[in-house]
Chain A
Amino acid sequence: MKLEEIPGFVSQREAADMPTVVVETARIREACEYARDRLGFDMCVDVVATDYLGWAHQGVSGYVGTASGRDINFPMTQGLQTLPEPKTKRFSLSYHLLALTHGAPRLRLQCWLDDDEPVPSVVSVWPTCDWHEREQFDLMGIRFEGHPNLVRLIMDDDWEGHPLRKDYPLGGEPVRFSDAE
């Protein structure tokens, strides 16, 4: 299987679970079509976005000093032992593909996006991506261009923000239908 021939090929790595191919964001639909028609990946099992905002900013564990002395609220030993590799852009978007043949070969197509950067929808390639993409739009705020019905799937229609983003506030949200709103 020649993964370098996937349209928009950027890089490839052998992960522990499945080969991972990073492709250009704008050509993800072509890459998916190629994977389906030429490489035999008939099924897209999952589309998942990850927000890497603040990745590797936690600091390495050990003594943490501040200008006024030791910060007792800093998570101290919860810091990392080594810093992970920095990421090129904020969001990763992974498409987990599966071929229904013996041995269950899998492939991860991945593209990287900045905030507000659109990505072509692959609903025309695999109809199953309809709800997967809507979910990632709803919870992560990824914009899929060409999706026939890109509306919130899980949160309320008028919900503000995208809860799975790292900068989404934890707690303190207004209680709906209360006087305090």
Chain B
Amino acid sequence: MTVAPTHTGRTRHWPIVGEPPYEGSHIPTRVPTILDVPEDLRDSDDLFQINFGPNHPSTHGVLRLIVDLHGEEVVGLSAVIGYLHTGFEKTMEHKTWWKCVTYPERIDYVGYQNNELVFVLAVERLLELEVPEKATWMRMLLCELNRIHSHLVFLGTSALELGAISMFWYCFREREQILDLMELVTGQRMHTRYFQVGGLAEDIPQGFYPECRKFVEWMPHALDDYLALLDRNQIWLERTKGVGPLSAADAIALGQTGPNLRASGVDWDLRREQPYLAYDQVDFQVPVYPEGDVYARYRVRLDEMAESTKIVRQCLDRLDRMEGQPWIADDRKVVLPPREELHTSMESLIHHFKIVTEGFRVPAGEIYVAIESPRGESGCYVVSDGGPKPWRVHFRAPSLVALEATPTCTHDALVADLIAIVGSLDAVMGDTDR
């Protein structure tokens, strides 16, 4: 077989259409990610090919969609990605392990804290490093805050695209509170680099708990606001209900995870099925909606924000009792020594110097670690050869997989629905392209 086609766009010579993978599937038959124009329309003069993006305001970044329109109906669709490719995986092969921590959070720049977590967890698994309890609970708290943040961005922008501009302001009002909390703890609003291999970079500052409690008390009221604004809004309901359906079987075949899978009626959440951190010690529900349409995807995320708020509250209750406990593992071969020790201890100075200049070594091996990020299963595959730099890092990007479902969801959709569908899949282009 020769592999040298010269363009990624849709082909103009129509291929033979195959059999659907199973009865009732809406997955396109020739290529699962390209919706081909039906045969009876191919010679029609009314066929109109239009280019969405890469700089279209409603594509959440730099996604390019090549759409065939028949009137207002979308009859053909293919996605072109890669406009935000940054080569993170390659770059990380040339950085020491502890410098790599800054990269994952920039891959999925909306779910940054979760992406940072998955890389740190992978390295810790290879090192077989124990993390103090306080760090585990604080990681969980920040990841849940980050989940709320990510869903707020989703809700605000997708409502904005459907014309509900006030939703955007309300969502970003709460998002701002979360970013302020992040800044209070880590010194950065986004891309915090607060998780270190072994625990946290710094102790939790005084004053964080009361501020975070204020937010946790406020958030349920905000969610009530969103529901009042959207859920009885006739325009919103008509634009979302029954639009972009994705059946459970199609969602599984297309590898969908996270909110998109739960909105198709599959009761699946890695936090519950494969508990990492301390998710087995907190109480939360997994919202599932069977419809599989845009409305279900929005409701799953809205309900998840309420559940995340509950988890944050439980984390705060636990952390309150951990005052004065260590926040990072006491392993001098991996973890930087406390700053003040550098002035008094030669050993600490040497360890500090070795870690900063050379980095720590990670035992040879390969590992795949997956967590439930705001977008679904975020996985990190890491190979180490025993040296101070990773041999290979690969991220399983939930956004890439979510976008694969676009043509299946767009079956029988109108061009205006396309905006709602792409928004509801909640892909972050940084995550898709890496």
**Which residues of A approach B to under 8 Å, CB–CB?**
15-18, 42-46, 48, 50-52, 55-56, 58, 77-85, 94, 96, 98, 100, 102-104, 106, 108, 118, 123-124, 126-128, 130-131, 135, 137, 139, 143, 145-146, 148-158, 163-164, 168, 170
Contact = CB atoms under 8 A, between A and B. Distances in A.
Contact of A84 (B81, B381, B386, B396): B386
A104 B270 contact: yes
Contacts of A58: 385, 387
B15 to A, nearest CB: 8
A79 B126 CA distance: 19
A100 B387 contact: no
Given A127-B254, A157-B7, A149 B87 contact: no
B402 to A, nearest CB: 11
Given A127-B27, A148-B31, A78 B273 contact: no
B367 interface: yes
A154 to B, nearest CB: 4
B266 interface: yes
A123 B31 CA distance: 9
B1 A145 contact: yes
Contacts of A43: 252, 255, 257
28 contacts: A16-B365, A17-B367, A17-B369, A43-B252, A45-B257, A45-B377, A48-B381, A55-B385, A77-B358, A78-B387, A80-B385, A81-B361, A94-B381, A96-B396, A100-B252, A100-B268, A103-B274, A118-B1, A127-B32, A127-B253, A130-B31, A130-B33, A131-B401, A135-B400, A137-B3, A143-B1, A146-B1, A155-B85
A137 B1 CA distance: 14
B21 interface: yes
Nearest to B125: A16
Contacts, number: 147
A126 B253 contact: yes
Secondary structure call for the A interface: loop
Nearest to A36: B253
A118 B386 CA distance: 30
A153 B365 CA distance: 29
Contact of A150 (B3, B274, B369, B381): B3
B30 interface: yes
A130 B32 contact: yes
Interface of B: 1, 3, 5-8, 21, 27, 30-34, 81-82, 85, 87, 89-90, 94, 125-126, 252-255, 257, 266, 268, 270, 273-274, 358, 361, 364-370, 377, 379, 381, 383, 385-388, 391-392, 394, 396, 400-401, 403-404, 433-434
B54 to A, nearest CB: 13
A46 B366 contact: no
Closest 6 CB pairs of A and B: A128-B255, A127-B32, A104-B274, A154-B82, A84-B364, A46-B396
Nearest to A57: B385
A131 B82 contact: no
Contact of A157 (B6, B34, B90, B274): B6
Contacts of B32: 123, 127-128, 130
Contacts of A168: 90
A76 to B, nearest CB: 9
**Residue of B6, B366, B367, B379 most packed against chain A (CB within 10 A):** B366
Contacts of B401: 128, 131
Contact of B358 (A51, A78, A80): A78
A33 B105 CA distance: 35
Contact of B273 (A83, A104, A128, A170): A104
Contact of B381 (A16, A96, A146, A149): A96
A173 to B, nearest CB: 11
B97 to A, nearest CB: 12
Contacts of B82: 152-156
A79 B388 CA distance: 9
B110 to A, nearest CB: 20
**Residue of B255, B268, B270 most packed against chain A (CB within 10 A):** B255
